[in-house]
């Protein structure tokens, strides 16, 4: 065993990646990746009690996420023989696009294995960069196993999505930019899937500004890193259950665990509902599209999972490759969680004549009717009336409650069911 290794056989963080490795990666990536913007948000600072909040917008990076940084850095260091044979990678989507674009830029054939849950938009984007895409496995782990098998069978280099020194170093360039753009930084929040991004960022901060707190964020349904730190051993989940498929990993691996346990200060979890709120507010307030994984750090800040009162907080928005229909559903779910949207089932006496009255009632009260359609009839519906579903969006719980009351008061219309929490509007049933 190497004398630099810890007693349990896990390498030290410096054995995995150093600041010099990240700085070398920055030189390789200088003409390849965007220096993504840092967007200051007064709204999120006020909501969280932070002194300031800076959104590091990796969702506007090439390929729509930070993953091109690590993928290119790793593939640029392959030997001529390895480049000639090609590479294979497994990914839930963003790493796939990073490897695919790096392959095109470096003239390396790339095969990407993705799980069945990968959004179609990410698959098509990966193919658009020229890679071959193989869909295999119900979760990422199955895709990973298949990718490893392909690498062994066909003599390809496997480009790991996170458990690789060069990948971690490439992702760490986000940290270099963050410190340059936000020198007053006190705390940085970073999503954790397999741990590559936070390992790279934490390496930079541990060496450049060790007083900065590094906090990882995971969804409740894929919360493995904190138990790993508490047990001082890698904890693997039997399965995952979260809307954030981009960080739906079951565990850290040896290299990321080594860095996380030495250089990350804490890991917190957020619920899928809290993720939906963050996605909605990023779209509304920051005018930016973030996938649920990319919104996880903001969810932690706004939900109170991280106490950042009076601090300057960096929030890494790691990706924006959202399926638009799923993004819309998440935004609606987030608005509902905020008490700003409700879906209701109406019983209408005169359909479709009542359409105009329904629309006018909502519009007159300054709200938005964003869904209106006939519903499937059930045994509980009055056979002489038409069941209708509506979606109402307003400025807050009291406003939405007022609109629902107005609809219920219309002649020939009754609100028979809704998902609105009337107590949040200061009223009881």
- What SS3 string covers 241-291? CCCCHHHCCCCCCHHHHHHHHHHCCEEEEECHHHHHHHHHHHHHHCCCCCC
Domain assignment present for residue 5? The answer is no
Domain's final residue, options 132, 158, 184: 158
User: Binning pLDDT at 50, 70 and 90, where does residue 425 land?
Assistant: low
Mean pLDDT of 322-344: 93
pLDDT at 64 over 90: yes
Question: Do 35 and 115 reside in the same domain of the chain?
Answer: no
Domain assignment present for residue 8? The answer is no
Residue 428: what pLDDT?
A: 39
Domain assignment present for residue 250? The answer is yes
Residue 245: what pLDDT?
A: 87
> Helix, strand or coil for residue 49?
coil
What CATH number is given to the structural domain containing 387?
A: 3.30.70.60
Residues designated catalytic: 67, 318
Residue 424: what pLDDT?
A: 59
Residue 7: what pLDDT?
A: 47
User: For residues 258 and 421, which has the higher predicted lDDT (pLDDT)?
Assistant: 258
Question: Do 227 and 306 reside in the same domain of the chain?
Answer: yes
pLDDT at 142 over 70: yes
User: Binning pLDDT at 50, 70 and 90, where does residue 141 land?
Assistant: confident
**pLDDT, mean over the chain:** 93
Residue 93: what pLDDT?
A: 77
Domain assignment present for residue 7? The answer is no
pLDDT at 79 over 50: yes
Question: Do 177 and 319 reside in the same domain of the chain?
Answer: yes
Domain that holds residue 240: 13-65+173-333
Highest mean pLDDT out of 89-93, 348-352, 391-395: 391-395
Mean pLDDT of 73-100: 94
pLDDT at 397 over 50: yes
Question: Do 290 and 305 reside in the same domain of the chain?
Answer: yes
Question: Do 223 and 281 reside in the same domain of the chain?
Answer: yes
Question: Do 289 and 180 reside in the same domain of the chain?
Answer: yes
pLDDT at 1 over 60: no
User: Binning pLDDT at 50, 70 and 90, where does residue 29 land?
Assistant: very high
Question: Do 349 and 409 reside in the same domain of the chain?
Answer: yes
Tell me how far CA of residue 166 lies from CA of 140, 184, 196, in angstroms.
Answer: 21, 28, 10
Peptide bond into 352 cis (omega under 30): yes
Domain assignment present for residue 249? The answer is yes
Question: Do 265 and 301 reside in the same domain of the chain?
Answer: yes
List Cβ neighbours of 107 (8 Å cut-off, separation of 6 or more).
83
What CATH number is given to the structural domain containing 236?
A: 3.40.50.1100
Question: Do 137 and 239 reside in the same domain of the chain?
Answer: no
Domain's final residue, options 333, 357, 386: 333
User: Binning pLDDT at 50, 70 and 90, where does residue 423 land?
Assistant: low
What is the count of structural domains for the chain?
3
Distance spanning both ends of the chain, measured CA to CA: 68
Percent of the chain with pLDDT over 70: 96
pLDDT tens-digit map of 144-161: 899 999 999 999 999 999
> Helix, strand or coil for residue 107?
coil
User: Binning pLDDT at 50, 70 and 90, where does residue 71 land?
Assistant: very high
Tokens of 190: 């970073």
Question: Do 35 and 120 reside in the same domain of the chain?
Answer: no
Question: Do 186 and 114 reside in the same domain of the chain?
Answer: no
Domain assignment present for residue 165? The answer is no
Domain's final residue, options 281, 316, 333: 333
pLDDT at 316 over 60: yes
Domain assignment present for residue 1? The answer is no
């Amino acid at each position: 065993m190497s004398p630099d290794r810890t007693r349990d056989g896990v390498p030290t963080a410096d054995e995995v990646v150093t600041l010099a490795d990240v700085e070398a990666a920055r030189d390789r990536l200088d003409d390849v990746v965007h220096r993504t913007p840092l967007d200051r948000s007064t709204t999120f600072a006020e909501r969280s009690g932070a002194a300031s909040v800076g959104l590091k917008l990796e969702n506007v990076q090439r390929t729509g996420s930070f993953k091109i940084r690590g993928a290119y850095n790793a593939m640029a260091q392959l030997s001529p023989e390895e480049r000639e044979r090609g590479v294979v990678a497994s990914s839930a989507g963003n790493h796939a696009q990073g490897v695919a674009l790096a392959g095109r830029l470096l003239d390396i054939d790339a095969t990407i294995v993705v799980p069945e849950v990968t959004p179609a938009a990410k698959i098509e984007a990966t193919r658009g960069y020229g890679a071959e895409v193989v869909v295999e496995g119900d979760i990422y782990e199955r895709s990973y196993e298949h990718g490893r098998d392909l690498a062994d069978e066909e003599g390809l280099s496997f480009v790991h999505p996170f458990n690789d020194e060069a990948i971690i170093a490439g992702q760490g360039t986000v940290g270099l930019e963050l410190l340059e753009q936000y020198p007053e930084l006190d705390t940085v929040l970073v999503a954790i899937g397999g741990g590559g991004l936070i390992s790279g960022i934490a390496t930079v901060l541990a060496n450049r500004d060790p007083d900065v707190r590094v906090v990882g964020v995971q969804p409740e349904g894929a919360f493995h890193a904190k138990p790993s730190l508490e047990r001082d051993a890698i904890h693997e989940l039997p399965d995952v259950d979260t809307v954030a498929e981009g960080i739906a990993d079951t565990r850290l691996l040896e290299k990321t665990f080594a860095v996380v346990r030495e250089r990350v200060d804490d890991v917190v979890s957020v619920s899928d509902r809290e993720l939906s709120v963050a996605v909605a507010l990023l779209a509304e307030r920051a005018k930016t599209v973030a996938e649920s994984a990319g919104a996880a750090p903001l969810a932690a800040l706004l939900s109170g999972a991280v106490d950042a009162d009076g601090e300057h907080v960096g929030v890494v928005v790691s990706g924006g490759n959202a399926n638009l229909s799923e993004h819309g559903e998440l935004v609606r779910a987030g608005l509902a969680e905020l008490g700003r949207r409700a879906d209701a089932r109406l019983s209408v006496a005169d359909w479709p004549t009542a359409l105009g009255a329904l629309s006018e009632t909502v519009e007159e009260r300054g709200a938005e009717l964003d869904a209106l359609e006939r519903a499937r009839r059930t045994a509980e519906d009055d056979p002489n009336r038409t069941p209708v579903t509506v979606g109402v969006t307003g400025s807050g719980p009291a406003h939405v409650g007022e609109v629902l009351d107005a609809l219920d008061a219309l002649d020939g219309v009754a609100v028979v069911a809704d998902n609105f929490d009337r107590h949040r509007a200061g009223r009881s049933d």
